[in-house]
Structure 1
Amino acid sequence: MDVLLLGLVVAVAWKLCQWKRSPGGAPLRSVTLCLLCAALSYPVAMPGGASGVDTVAGHGTAKLIQNVLLLLTVYFLMCFYLYSADGPGARRRARREAVIVALVAVAITVAALSVPHEVFAGSFSTADMTVPQIAFFYVTAGLYLMYALGAAGLWTRRYAGMSRRPHATGLWMAAVALSSMAVACAVRAVIVAIRWTGTSVPHPLMSAVAFLLVASILLFVAGVTYSGARARITSTRLWLRHRRDHRRLRPLWELLSETYPENVLRPASTTWWDRMRARGVHRRYHRRIVECRDGLVGISPHLTDEDDDERAVLDLAPAELAARLRHTSTRIGQGGMTPRRALSLAGAPGDDRQSDVQQLIAVADALRTAA
């Protein structure tokens, strides 16, 4: 339960951030409310939360609140697909579904309030299903959950078949999870019907159904966050690589910026937050590359004299080029050098930006080693 709640809280926090950036999106609003209702239902279902609610509002209140939140969870899930279709009747269909879920919520509330608190207390496995109101409570809630989850599973499979990776992978995970939850709800409805007749059901079967529900919910949360989490992981890797390459370029940048201080661009921001956030890291990384390239263009005419072959200078190994750059920067500071034609130093074959950066890093590493 703790792992499940943690996963739901992380998913809700991420969706709330997205909703804040785009408050007008009906599909995003629906999926955020879906995850929020699911997250709120689990603290109420935990022993500590349930006992606290029951102490304040009466026995059985926590169970009723949990089931109403679960009904709202699957309702908002259906709304997500309805608004995603963006058809002319999407809003009208969502209103009809709202009426249905409201009727179901009222029906199970009346059933819960029509029996003594001690009868309604307990879990699904310990409740007395021979009481008609108790059986009606669980069957009605379970059948609506089965209907909504089954419909959502069908829509998810349809969208998964039309999508590409990584979105398709997440959708297929969600589709399997929704279908499994619908099957579990159907099995629970059958169990209620059997117990209503007074027949007992093996405890391992009820435990297996409960495990299937928990595993399916975890799989569903993983599915709806899969593509976003994968994109975030890729973004984090890029952020780490740019921070590392920015530091590795420092020896080359320092040498060239001391030689040509006018090439150093003015930073957009010097705050600590800008230095850590992704946009600031990427901006400083690309700015350093530009400053290094501008410095190499400026110093390249001084690397050759009349006896040097320009082709040989272009083919210098990083260590030898680093030694020449250090020697040439010192001579430029002393003055009296006659420049020749500018050259493209430490270049990579083709137009691959990363290979070009690796050439600069190789020269910077050689400068660091020499120092």
Structure 2
Amino acid sequence: MILDVALLALLWGATVVRIPTLWRDQRQRALWAAVCAIALAKTVSFAPIAAQLDVPIVPHLLGVTSAYFLLRFIALVTHTGVRARQLALLVAVLVALCVLDLVAHGIDTEAELLATEQGWAVAAYWVVLEAYLGTVLVTTSMLFWRISGGAPAGLPRAGLRVTSIGTALVACYAAVKGSLVLAHTLGTDVAFSTVEPIGRTAQTSGLILTIAGLLAPATRRARAAYEAYRSLLVLRPLWKAMRDAFPEVILFTPRRAVIELAGVDDVHLRLYRRVIEIRDGMLALRPYAAPHGSSPAEEATAIVDALRRRASGAPLTEPGSWAPVGPAMADEVAWLSRVSRGLAAPSRTPTPSESAR
């Protein structure tokens, strides 16, 4: 039960966290759909919910759908496979499962019921289900392991290999489950009450490894996005001063910026744009800037004085220049952040009336 709860939390967490990737490309959308479908499958198969629904086939249909999106992800990554054929195979498997479920008058998933006399329709159901899932999972495992060799060392490579191990573990569960059901139908005595709990633990553990592996490389991106957004907030006083003095330096409207919140990558684009807007404003303010020292605090003071001169319409005959910074964008962000902190004192600038853009 604890493992099931942990898996559900991980699955839905991954589903929510990866929502911004829907705007990135088809591969990310396929991967998100696979995670979302398996999250739904494990939710409806969770004991308290399953007892209320009492439709054992639903988690299986969702699991097959999740496998289809994994197959689509693989096809998009490797540039192989025809979508029409994959979709036709999905429909064929779903229809076959529904027909076999009707013929068998319902599929039993509990260990005690699996151990009872089962007909050929039940065996065919499990073979079709586990063969499809197993094939897709083995293919997925091989893909992730192969591409892990070319991934950067550290979390990206480790995450891909953990995902590969997780999908391989789930594939083993599918293969063993299908084989045991078929063997039982052929007359072999199978202790499902002993085997099934072990198999489900292996399946759950494999899914946890799979999702954890998929999330591992994203932690670096999430950390970078957090740092970028924090820099956006730190730069806001300086940016607001430039925006209020020179509205023409703004590249996009605040409404456009709200739309851009949909993607993680856009945080870095917004930070880059904010630096450009600040630098454009400082360039326009340069005729009013007196010579000053090279520290961030002195530059912040010089900006405040220059803004006052501009407001009074008194440009300098021999203006100074702003501190040269570079060459990397990170250097620019770090310097302007220190200047912005110096500018953010209540005695210098008013409290921002708008949220960070």
Whether 1:112 aligns to 2:101 is no
Distance 1:364 1:172, change over 3 A: closer
Alignment partners' CA distance in 1, 2:333 and 2:299: 15
Q: 1:240 aligns with which of 203, 227, 230?
A: 230
Q: Contact 1:242–1:282 (CA<8 Å) still a contact in 2?
A: no
Q: Provide the rounded CA distance (Å) in 1 between the counterparts of 2:143 and 2:310.
A: 69
What is the RMSD computed on CA atoms of the aligned residues? 4.4
Per the alignment, do residues 92 and 172 of structure 1 end up closer, same or farther by CA in structure 2, a change over 3 Å counting?
A: same
What TM-score, normalized to structure 2?
A: 0.70
Supply the AA of the counterpart residue of 2:322. L
Which residue in the other structure is 2:248 paired with? 265
Pick from 8, 11, 14 the counterpart of residue 8 of structure 1: 11
1:235 alignment partner AA: A
Unaligned runs of 5+ in 1: 55-61, 304-312
Contact 1:194 1:200 in 2 (8 A): no
After TM superposition, give the deviation of residue 339 of structure 1 in Å.
2.5
What does 1:224-239 align with in structure 2 at a 5 Å threshold?
A: 224-228=214-218, 230-239=220-229
With 193-202 and 209-218 compared, the bigger mean Cα shift is at 193-202
Give 1:269 deviation, angstroms. 3.0
**Does residue 1:355 correspond to 2:344, yes or no?**
no
Gap change, CA 1:35 and 1:266, over 3 Å in 2: same
**TM-aligned CA distance change 1:264 to 1:126, over 3 Å:** same
Spell out the pairing of 1:198-209 with structure 2 (5 A cutoff): 198=189, 200=191, 203=194, 206-209=196-199
Q: How many residues align?
A: 332
Letter in 2 for 1:290: D
Query: In the superposition, relative to structure 1, how do residues 298 and 354 fare at CA in structure 2: closer, same or farther (>3 Å)?
Result: farther
- Aligned residue in 2 for 1:76: 69
1:40 maps to: 40
Is the partner of 1:80 in helix, strand or coil? helix
Q: CA deviation at 1:201?
A: 5.8
Q: Which residue of 2 aligns with 1:52?
A: 52
Q: 1:15 to 1:112 in 2, by over 3 A?
A: farther
Where do 1:1-371 residues align within 5 Å? 1-12=4-15, 18-19=21-22, 25=26, 27=27, 30-54=30-54, 62-87=55-80, 90-91=82-83, 94=86, 97-98=89-90, 101-102=93-94, 105=97, 108-110=100-102, 112-113=104-105, 121=108, 123-133=109-119, 134=122, 137-164=125-152, 168-189=157-178, 191-192=180-181, 193=183, 197-198=188-189, 200=191, 203=194, 206-228=196-218, 230-247=220-237, 249=238, 254=241, 261=245, 263=246, 265=248, 267=250, 268-269=252-253, 274=258, 277=261, 278=267, 283-284=273-274, 286-295=276-285, 297-300=286-289, 302-303=290-291, 316-319=294-297, 339-340=317-318, 342-348=319-325, 350-363=326-339, 365=341, 368=345
Equivalent AA in structure 1 for residue 135 of structure 2 = Y
Aligned 8 A contact 2:42 2:59 in 1: yes
Percent identity, aligned pairs only, is 17
1:77 and 1:97 map into 2 onto residues whose CA distance is: 13
Indicate how the Cα distance of structure 1 residues 14 and 135 shifts in structure 2: closer, same or farther if over 3 A, else same.
same
Contact 2:142/2:164 (8 A) holds in 1: yes
Q: Which has the larger radius of gyration?
A: 1
Query: What is the distance in 2 between the residues matched to 1:236 and 1:162?
Result: 26
Q: For 2:35, what is the secondary structure of its paired residue?
A: helix
Gaps of 5+ in 2: 262-266, 349-357
